[in-house]
């Protein structure tokens, strides 16, 4: 048994003090609590993590830093409420997401998990609702991320009333504080998306990476709750990638593209780039002659955020502006067709028979909806396959105006707004489904930990074909096998 106390003295920075004892547990690589830790058990459920299956309950957890979703701070609060949290989190690199969750838990609810940063050598009441009751209001334009329910229809979807009511209360609290009811995890799809060099304060990890890397805006990857404090004050800590010197790449990743490829390459590239740069901003070369679509870049950034804690990446030829002061010699890594083939097999470990097709992680764009209609070409979903697209309210309105919603629903596709795949559980996710097909590298990474289901992965067209036939391809895509 190991002891940590308030008078603990070392070269550690104690961020949240607590007298705690417990068994030391070491995570040698970063972990996303959102999608990586089950708040109902306290166990690691990320099948791609080396510590998958281990319990964090009551442990003194040693971890370099966190990674992945900014909603990890909310998961830590859930663990605290359920009595299943670690007793201490000890980092040796900068970490903000879980740290902020611990600070909120301490200050608002008087529930403590010790937070330390050391050298490498050595809730019955909803937080947002409570803030509204204390008089909080946003002072700058603020959008709302996707939430845990389809706000206007959850009662008809079989969602448990206690869960649905809490999610509705949370949404209402944000609206009462003045936030716009956009309910999307892809705010860069909105018409008033940020401009180059605009200073913003976002928290959704895929959106932060897209804003910095593709739009050229500036935002740190803010944890849940800190984003609300920024919305209230109109100010953010002048730190991290708000500062030019902190946006400089630290490693180079050279991509050696196959001769031909389809849209499934982009989420795979994002996942691999993040895996090679788990806590450093990379400079990505080898894509200068490509013309990725906004959807391709969306998929790449989202998948990058599952394996890296970095808030951005520089894609040479695609990230706006110059990259200043790059060190003359960066450590270099390569991504080849062989790496892509290995990852495709890693994502495709389930049976070939598909029960559920999941599109919209992050939320689907209008062009993705248009393409999905085209790939159906008047055909219908297999009656044994549930096909769901999650979508933001703004895109849903446009899709309705173009007649896309009518065409998709006529084909048997269900379209759900407000919620996204990282929050979908039973009964919206069919209890009998055992294999999920998706075009999202992000969801292929998180799905098993979130749902217990195995995945198949492919292009958007592959997903449409699987929705119609009920089967996924057994072999590598042609562009990977040649």
For 298-354, the pLDDT digits (tens) are 999 999 999 999 999 999 999 998 665 566 788 999 999 999 999 999 999 999 999
Residue 416 neighbours by CB distance under 10 Å? 20
Cβ atoms of 327 and 225 within 8 Å: the answer is no
pLDDT for res 394: 97
Count of beta carbons in the 10 Å neighbourhood of residue 246: 13
The whole-angstrom separation of Cα 132 and Cα 135 is: 5
For residue 98, name the pLDDT band (cuts at 50, 70, 90): very high
Distance of alpha carbon 379 from its chain centroid, rounded? 32
CA nearest to 428, candidates 384, 390, 461, 464? 390
Question: What SS3 state is found at 157?
Answer: helix
- Percent composition of the chain: helix, strand, coil (DSSP 3-state, to 5): 35, 15, 50
Indicate the pLDDT class of residue 442, thresholds 50, 70 and 90.
very high
Q: What is the DSSP letter of 212?
A: I
Answer positive or negative: Cα dihedral of 232, 365, 311, 292.
negative
> For residues 53 and 294, is the Cβ–Cβ distance under 8 A?
no
**Topology (CATH) of 2-117:** Glucose Oxidase; domain 1 (3.50.30)
Active site residue 105: no
Residue 216's Cβ-side half-sphere holds a number of Cα atoms within 13 Å equal to 11
Burial of residue 249 (CB within 10 Å: 0-12, 13-18, 19+) is buried
Residues in the chain: 482
Domain boundary assignment for the chain: 2-117, 133-236, 244-345, 348-481
Digit-coded pLDDT (tens) for 463-476: 999 999 999 999 99
Q: Quick one: average pLDDT of 201-229?
A: 94
- In the set 32, 69, 203, 361, the catalytic residue is 69
| Cα 256 to Cα 373: distance, rounded to the nearest angstrom | 32
Q: What is the mean pLDDT of residues 414-419?
A: 97
Cα separation, 455 vs 148, whole angstroms: 21
Can you tell me the mean pLDDT for 253-267?
97
Mean pLDDT calculated for residue range 98-112: 90
* DSSP-based three-state secondary structure for 396: helix
Amino acid 2: pLDDT: 44
User: pLDDT of 171-188, one tens digit each?
Assistant: 999 999 999 999 999 999
- What is the bridge-based pairing of β-strands 88-91 and 331-335? unpaired
Second-level CATH architecture of 348-481 = 2-Layer Sandwich (3.30)
């Amino acid at each position: 048994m190991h002891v940590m106390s308030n008078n603990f003295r070392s070269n550690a920075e104690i961020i949240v003090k607590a007298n705690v004892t417990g068994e030391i547990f070491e995570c040698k690589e970063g972990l996303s609590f959102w999608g990586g830790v089950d708040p109902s058990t306290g166990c690691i459920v990320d099948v791609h993590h080396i510590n998958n299956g281990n319990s964090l309950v009551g442990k003194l957890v040693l971890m370099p830093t966190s990674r992945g979703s900014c909603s990890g701070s909310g998961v830590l609060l859930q663990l605290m409420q359920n009595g299943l949290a670690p007793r201490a989190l000890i980092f040796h690199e900068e970490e903000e997401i879980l740290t902020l969750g611990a600070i909120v838990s301490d200050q608002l609810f008087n529930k403590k998990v010790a937070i330390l940063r050391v050298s490498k050598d050595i809730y019955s009441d909803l937080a947002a609702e409570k803030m509204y009751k204390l008089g909080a209001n946003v002072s700058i334009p603020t959008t709302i991320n996707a939430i845990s329910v389809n706000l206007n229809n959850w009662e008809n979807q079989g969602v448990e009333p206690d869960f649905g009511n809490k999610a509705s209360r949370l949404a209402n609290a944000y609206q009462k504080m003045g936030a716009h009811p956009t309910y999307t995890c892809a705010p860069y799809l909105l018409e008033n998306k940020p401009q180059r060099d605009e200073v913003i304060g976002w928290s959704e990890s895929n959106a932060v990476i897209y804003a910095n890397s593709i739009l050229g805006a500036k935002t740190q990857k803010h944890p849940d709750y800190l984003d609300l404090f920024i919305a209230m004050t109109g100010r953010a800590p002048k730190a991290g990638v708000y500062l030019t010197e902190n946006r400089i790449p630290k490693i180079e990743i050279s991509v050696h593209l196959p001769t031909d490829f389809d849209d499934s390459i982009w989420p795979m590239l994002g996942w691999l780039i993040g895996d090679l740069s788990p806590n450093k901003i990379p400079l990505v070369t080898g894509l200068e002659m490509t013309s990725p679509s906004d959807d391709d870049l969306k998929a790449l950034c989202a998948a990058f955020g599952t394996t890296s804690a970095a808030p951005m990446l520089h894609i040479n030829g695609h990230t706006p502006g110059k990259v200043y002061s790059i060190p003359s010699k960066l450590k270099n890594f390569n991504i080849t067709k062989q790496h892509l083939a290995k990852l495709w097999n890693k994502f495709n470990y389930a049976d070939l028979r598909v029960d559920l097709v999941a599109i919209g992680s992050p939320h689907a764009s209008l062009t993705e909806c248009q393409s999905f209609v085209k790939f159906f070409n008047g055909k219908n979903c297999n009656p044994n396959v549930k096909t769901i697209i999650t979508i933001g309210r703004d895109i849903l309105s446009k899709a309705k105006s173009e007649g896309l919603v009518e065409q998709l629903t006529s084909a048997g596709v269900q379209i759900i707004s407000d919620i996204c795949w990282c929050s979908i559980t039973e009964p919206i996710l069919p209890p009998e489904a055992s294999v999920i097909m998706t075009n999202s590298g992000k969801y292929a990474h998180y799905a098993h930990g979130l749902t217990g289901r195995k995945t198949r992965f492919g292009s958007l067209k592959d997903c449409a074909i699987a929705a119609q036939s009920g089967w996924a391809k057994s072999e590598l895509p042609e562009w990977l096998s040649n």
